[in-house]
Structure 1
Amino acid sequence: MTGRPESLFPLFAGIETLEGVGPKTAQLLEQIQITRPRDLVFTLPHSGIDRARRVSVRDAVLPQVITVEVEIGKHTPSRTKGGAYRITVEDAGTSFQLVFFHARGDYLQKQLPTGQRRIVSGRVELFDGIAQMVHPDHILPVDDAEEIPLFEPVYPLTAGVSQKQMFKAVQGAMKRLPDLAEWIDPEQKRRANWPDWADAVRAAHAPQRSEDLAVTSPARERLAYDEMMAHQITLALARATLRRAKGRESHGTGRLQARVMASLPYTPTGAQMRAIEEIARDMAQPQRMNRLLQGDVGAGKTLVAFLALLVAVESGGQGVMMAPTEILARQHLESLRPMAEEAGVVLELLTGRDKGAERRAKLEALARGDIQVLLGTHAVFQKDVEFADLRLAVVDEQHRFGVRQRLELGQKGASADVLVMTATPIPRSLALAQYGDMDVSVLDEKPPGRLPIKTAMVSTTRMEEVVNHLRRAILDGRQAYWVCPLVDESEVVDLTAAEERFKHLRAVLGEGNVGLVHGQMPAADKDEAMAAFQAGRTAVLVATTVIEVGVNVPNATIMVIEQAEIFGLAQLHQLRGRVGRGTGASTCLLLYRGPLSEAAERRLTTLRDTEDGFRIAETDLEMRGAGDLIGTAQSGLPRFRVADLERQARLMAIAQSDARKLMSDDPGLTGPRGKAARVLLWLMEQDRAIRLISVG
């Protein structure tokens, strides 16, 4: 099947092929990403209005929406232009008024002739003791009463499109629903009590009561599951593609690892030992490893990654470790060099700065196999970089490295195992959505001897005290970070914020004591400022958030975050993790400008009360929602129309195991359920996945 299946053609036609949708409405709908009948099918009502028939308005608790049969009485046109045109009407128990503004009298005389009976439905309110229905939503002859649904769905709208138009367009799209073969595991479907796909769509658009609008209603849950399932099949295909590329079996001898272990001043945590066992086991398999190493700030990922690289070296091959920036690549070099020396392993750094003869020499040594572990930025992926025998690629800080890049990496080291490290604890539902193609190792213990970081909230009105506290700390030989916020997108403004703070602190703490690093500086100056701070030549480093990832200065024990209230929780947690890396007790001061909004207060108090990154991430997810949490645009996180990642986390886990099972039972998706799953992929527009099957 190379193209979209014919059964789906009607759903993928232009939106103006629907009855009652002209070019103008089509243009308006495009603003809310509706361009085809398919998009209407997945735009579910977000609430509903009870339009069940009443006998009378008399006993109703007002204001509320009421549907009632009335006899039409006297018309009272407005005395002023655009004023209220009133029509008195009588139901079975009382009389009330229908009110219209900017009304055309002749039109209303025709619609609502005195003496006739009509069904009217709309919101009734009391004004000066008189019940009024202003601009009824529905006015119908008694014989057409059933045109008003008893419970009317309410859709998300865009300016210029009314509920009526939207309802009509959706009804048009519903007429095109094909009957599709089932792609969900029959047992799962039976247990969850889910309807067939087309029935689920119809039920979701025709709620009978408010419970039918909940994410837990069977029809909605099924449609959410379909989205997750399509996404997880895509990830399972990416995983299969990576694994299909024949892996190398790398059997470590443990010899080099033992040397490094023996030299450590502490015992690795149980979580670290577990992770390295899982990784070594994967590396010994003939399929390629595709594993995520997820650990909280300071959980000791670097050691695990290095031991994994040693497995590659012990088995006679090479390893590469990739960092997102040059600063971090150099830092890996610093922290790994002592371990590499213990193990007797040749470690080199390759970045964009290596030029000419020096670069050539490194590339030759790499191609000969003389360099056993290479560290670098994405420069290690350039065309002319060739390894003698690449066994393992470790990728640090995943955020700039989505599924697509993972597939590309798969093509480069034709059979290298892949280990991705992320320092951002991610709640399980999101980890599954983002990294569902990977197996996950979690480091959830802190290495022994890490002291807790004392976190306090301090109002900016107490700035003087904070600066005095700093002055004393510097005299004791301690170092501090001072983070200035990125106030808005324009770097210029931030710059002045950081530079002002820098000048102020320099005036108070002494010229040579304060360094500055921000996004606009040339790379060399940035490295210079960082190096001076790392070497202890400057005591305070004023920075915009360029320092959040991975910087390691064990002697830095104070973190001041200015305007902490405008940072996200995960970011605050990352920044705090820059201190508490040495033997000294550390503090983190959250400087805020009052009064705090409720959300800001919750963020800051959560941070103050816990250091558990996974708990922080769960709170963050509850507060912000999934898209914001990892920045949907570049995260590779799917944009779901129906599924709700926060509230349906459990479904994502089921979808992952269902998708993986389907792929292992039917790798080519050629059986009956496999074919149905292909239709699902087309329906959900997972084109990348479809390409993978057609080439696979």
Structure 2
Amino acid sequence: MVNNTYNYLLSDLKKLKGVGQKTYNILKKKKINNIFDLLWRLPKSYTDRSKSTKIEDLKIGEEQTVILTPLKYNFPRIRNLPNRIYCKDDTGELDCVFFNSYEGYIKKILPLNKEVTVSGKVGIFKNKYQITNPKYVSEDSTLIKDKYNKYSLTEGISEKVYNKIINQILINLPILEEWHNNKILRKFDNISWNKAIIELHKPDNVGKYNSNFYRRLAYDEILSTFLAHSEIRQNIKKIKKQKKFFDITHQNKILENLDFKLTGDQEKTLNEINNDLQSDQKMFRLLQGDVGSGKTIVALCAAINTVNSGFQVAVMAPTEILARQHFNFAKKIFDKKINLEILSSKSEYKEKKIIKEKLENNQINIIFGTHAIFQKKIIFKKLGLIIIDEQHKFGVNQRKKLSDKGGDNCDVLLMSATPIPRTLTMTIYGDMDLSIIKEKPKARKEVKTYSKLETKIDEILKFIEKEINNNNQIFWVCSLIEESKKLDHTSAVQKFEYLQKKFPNQVALLHGKTEPEEKEIILKDFLNQKTKILVSTTIIEVGIDFPNANVIIIENANKFGLSQLHQLRGRVGRGEKQSTCILLFKSSLTENAKKRLNILKSSTDGFVISEEDMKLRGFGDILGFKQSGIKIFRLADPVHNEDLFKLAEIEIKEMEKNNISLNKYRTLMKLYDQADVINDII
């Protein structure tokens, strides 16, 4: 049975003294839902009130502590005027000023002719020192003369109230049963979880990120996440499925007819996937590859092997045009005996009905489409493989539901063209087996990358004219849709209008506000070379190939992260022609911006670039994961705590190897919010 001492930590905030409805509502808005959540709002600095200062030595604008004697009250009868108390010490005079405080309260805390200790921010009014609405006032100096944490507070909660709430929690902090073994504890000087939390909130320890207490708590976070992933992974592996028996002759015939050879990484990855398909354990694998590394052909080979073993395959893409691209490629390389269909929101009702019936009767081998192919109405006769492209924003729970959807005999393969560092991969995709394609096809030319001042626009226009005359196409990326008064960025609309005048009837505009149907038409026209220049926001970052597009120009490139720039650059260089990426920037660049542009110009390796991006930008900001709801650690950082991630990975592998029960880690997982992922074992 789980030790119930953690129940205090997960209990409602209203159990705390000083937390009324108003404070409760303020904390709730900040997503502080229980006592445990409060512990992770760390102090950003502290105020030292341990030393008192004489009035003559006070510094204006600073928080200081002074011992003084109240001499006279001034309670004006005119509304909105403050109450003022004249005070002094042996070196000078000071006024304590109160707004919205009752006379009785003031007389109680500042009795006349009695020495009191007052702490607050020092100001000046009419050449006289004053402290307005003092934060601390007491006749007992020992209650004030101490160091007090400063937190990032919400409006409506004072520092004094917040400190009282935190101190109350720390006093009542339960002693939890240790979940780490001695080997792990020694790495953190044997500090307990309880002691580490107390140390974390001591004013003198603010910012001590390399301390044993901070690292122990960061490791707890990492381990709890890895444990949840491990449990999901192990549960999936326990599922005994029907093995897929197939002859790879069909696969090899397809590969022989291609106008390129698979790279070593592609061959290795295809073997890993085929082994999964032929095993009696359910496949739940991520195929991660850099832009243009050739994930699609690997996935389609897995699809044809699944079909040849008597099962159906579903291939899902985020947009209809990308789904259609996969569909057309499959039609080109597969035998005509393989029944392929595409299902989208544009499919006619009659067509949808026929496709639905064919799927139910196993008359369709591979179905391509958007998320519509997984609607409840769509029933497969014998679904054996689900392939999902460009779904790097799927959360753990969504992936788990997806794995369950196809039934026990259905394998799952996710593909992502977003290279991310190993520490992030372990954190986000730890529940999946991983295959990585880093090697690019040998025939593919590297994209030449240049940075140009935006004032050199005339040179760029001449270059574009030359490319269009050579029957090439151009992407022109802007960060904004419309002009902004606050941001000094060129908008997509503005640039579209400008280029239309220079290249009449050859420019199209695409952005996030474009209607889906219109978007499909614009992309199709560009694919069919009806337009030569596509002005767009970053919505073209991932997805469809445009083999004839060999130039991409990115406005205000210094405003983008490295990984996003790399993804955008990956929109070109898909064909045989030499491709070019031009990074436009304004004259005034920060040091960080210069570093980003130089890194991008010097490397085309998405994994190297993403590592550098994370170092420059920080965890949570990279690749928009913060916006997509992927868990952000409270303390752990994949750059600074890389050794802890590796330590947790080793520990998990050891536990899996030795079949160690999760029982001793249940409190840890409950506290660190992993219970929703593995409710069945908590």
Deviations 1:338-372 (A, max 9, x none): 3324x974443232333344334434444454533
Cα distance in 2 for partners of 1:645, 1:488 equals: 36
**Secondary structure of 2:677's match?**
helix
Residues 558 and 593, structure 2, Cα contact 8 Å, conserved in 1 = yes
Aligned pair partner of 2:164 in 159, 165, 168: 168
* Corresponding residue of 1:11: 9
Letter in 1 for 2:577: G
User: Residues 691 and 320 (structure 1 numbering): CA distance in 2 closer, same or farther, change over 3 Å?
Assistant: same
Q: Which of 196, 200, 207 pairs up with 1:204?
A: 200
Distance in 2 (CA, whole Å) between partners of 1:488 and 1:647 is: 39
- CA 1:589–1:418: 2 relative to 1, 3 Å: same
> Partner residue of 2:142?
145
Q: Secondary structure at the match of 1:398?
A: coil
Paired residue type of 2:35 = P
Kindly indicate whether the alpha-carbon contact (under 8 Å) linking 1:532 and 1:538 is maintained by their aligned counterparts in 2.
Answer: yes
CA contact (8 A) 1:254 1:314 kept: no
Q: Could you say if the C-alpha distance between residues 444 and 205 of structure 1 is closer, same or farther in structure 2, counting changes exceeding 3 Å?
A: same
Partner of 1:326: 320
Q: Residue 272 of structure 2 is aligned with which of 275, 278, 296?
A: 278
Asked whether the 8 Å contact 1:185–1:658 carries over to 2, the reply is no
- Does structure 1 conserve the Cα–Cα contact (< 8 Å) formed by 2:552 and 2:569? yes
Which residue in the other structure is 1:642 paired with? 635
Q: Deviations over 1:311-356 (max 9, x none)?
A: 3234343333211110100111233333324x97444323233334
Would the aligned equivalents of 1:195 and 1:218 in 2 still touch at CA under 8 Å? yes
TM-score (norm. length: structure 2): 0.85
**8 Å contact kept, 1:98–1:136:** no
Checking the alignment, whether the CA contact within 8 Å between 1:238 and 1:403 is kept in structure 2 is no
**Shift in Å at residue 500 of structure 1?**
5.0
Tell me the residue number matched to 2:578.
585
Check if 1:534 corresponds to 2:523: no
Q: In structure 1, what is the equivalent of residue 395 of structure 2? A: 402
Retained in 2: the 8 A contact 1:322–1:375? yes
CA distance in 2, matches of 1:247, 1:199: 47
Residues 98 and 189 (structure 1), Cα distance of their counterparts in 2 relative to 1, 3 Å cut:
farther
Q: How far 1:480 sits from its partner (Å)? A: 1.3
Q: Distance in 2 between matches of 1:82 and 1:608?
A: 62
Q: d(CA) in 1 for partners of 2:442 and 2:356?
A: 40
Partner of residue 565, structure 2? 572
- Residue 672 of structure 2 is matched in structure 1 by 684
Query: Quick check: 2:109–2:137 contact (8 Å CA) kept in 1?
Result: no
AA paired with 2:197?
Answer: V
Equivalent residue for 2:27?
29
- Following the alignment from structure 1 to structure 2, what is the Cα–Cα distance between the partners of residues 440 and 225? 23
Check the 8 A contact 1:194/1:219 in 2, yes or no: no
Give 1:559 deviation, angstroms: 0.9
What amino acid sits opposite 2:25 in the alignment? Q
Amino acid at match of 1:145: T
Instruction: Map residues 193-592 of structure 1 onto 2, 5 A cutoff.
Output: 193-207=189-203, 209-210=204-205, 213-341=207-335, 345-414=338-407, 415-487=409-481, 498-499=492-493, 501-511=495-505, 513-592=506-585
Superposition pairs for residues 581-660 of structure 1, below 5 Å?
A: 581-593=574-586, 595-596=588-589, 600-632=593-625, 635-659=628-652
Deviations 1:439-464, CA, capped at 9 Å, x for gaps: 22222222212222222233333333
Quote the Cα distance in structure 2 between the aligned partners of 1:428 and 1:218: 24
Q: Deviations over 1:493-516 (max 9, x none)?
A: 9xx9545544443443242x3344
Post-superposition offset of 1:168: 1.1
> How far did 1:141 drift?
5.2
Measured against aligned partners, the alpha-carbon deviations of 1:213-272 in whole angstroms (never above 9, x if no partner) come to 422222222222223333333322332343333333335532122223322333322222
Contact persistence 1:16–1:22 (CA under 8 A): yes
Structure 2 portions without partners, runs of 5+: none
**Does the residue aligned with 2:180 lie in a helix, a strand or coil?**
coil
Q: Do the aligned partners of 1:14 and 1:35 also contact (CA within 8 Å) in 2?
A: yes
Higher percent of residues as helix: 1
Q: 1:113 to 1:615 in 2, by over 3 A?
A: farther
Q: Which moved more, 1:297-306 or 1:497-506?
A: 497-506
Question: Which whole-Å CA distance do the structure 1 matches of 2:513 and 2:28 have between them?
Answer: 38
Q: 1:96 to 1:226 in 2, by over 3 A?
A: farther
- Number of positions where the alignment pairs a residue of Structure 1 with one of Structure 2: 670
CA contact (8 A) 1:394 1:418 kept: yes
Separation (CA, whole Å) in 2 of partners of 1:109 and 1:370: 87
Between 376-385 and 468-477, the greater mean CA deviation after superposition: 376-385
1:577 CA drift (Å): 0.7
Cα displacement (A) at 1:98: 5.7
Contact 1:237–1:689 (CA under 8 A) maintained in structure 2: no
Query: Which runs of no fewer than 5 residues in structure 1 stay unpaired?
Result: none
Aligned to 2:152: 156
> Could you say what the CA RMSD is over the residues aligned between the two structures, in angstroms?
4.1
Contact residue 349 and residue 374 of structure 1 kept, 8 A: yes
Residues 155-193 of structure 1, C-alpha deviations (whole Å, 9 max, x = no match)? 221223222211111122223322222223442222333
Measure, in 2, the Cα distance between the counterparts of 1:74 and 1:376.
78
The residue type equivalent to 1:43 in the other structure is R
Cα shift at 1:375: 2.1
Identity among equivalent pairs (%):
35
1:184 is matched with 180
Structure 1: distance between partners of 2:133 and 2:638 = 39
Instruction: Please tell me the residue identity of whatever aligns with 2:19.
Output: V
